[in-house]
Structure 1
Amino acid sequence: MERFACPTPDHMGRYRCIDDHVLCDGFIDCPTGEDEDRQNCMFYKTVSEKNFG
């Protein structure tokens, strides 16, 4: 499983890492919602749905 580091800290100044399976899942996990950014999700979904096996 891969991890994604949120680029902005939370209100306590801590940076959060989230699992890649929650990226672009419709729920905001990063403090300012970067994990649900529409432009990033277009690219992410295109790449992640390809079968590399």
Structure 2
Amino acid sequence: MTEAHNVQTGMLTEEAKGNHAKVSLLTIHSQDHIMNAITFRDLAGEIVDLYKK
């Protein structure tokens, strides 16, 4: 997941610099999956922390 996040960050950085990449439906779909995976990982960590208390 770290590598996927690094690639995503690199793409966003290049976009911010004005280097626009070709965006396809597959790119959008993969970005959505990365975002959801990171969100669920963070949420799972929060739930584990709550149960430890």
TM-score of the superposed pair, with normalisation by structure 1: 0.32
Q: Which has the larger radius of gyration?
A: 2
Structure with higher helix content: 2
TM-score of the superposed pair, with normalisation by structure 2: 0.32
Structure with higher strand content: 1
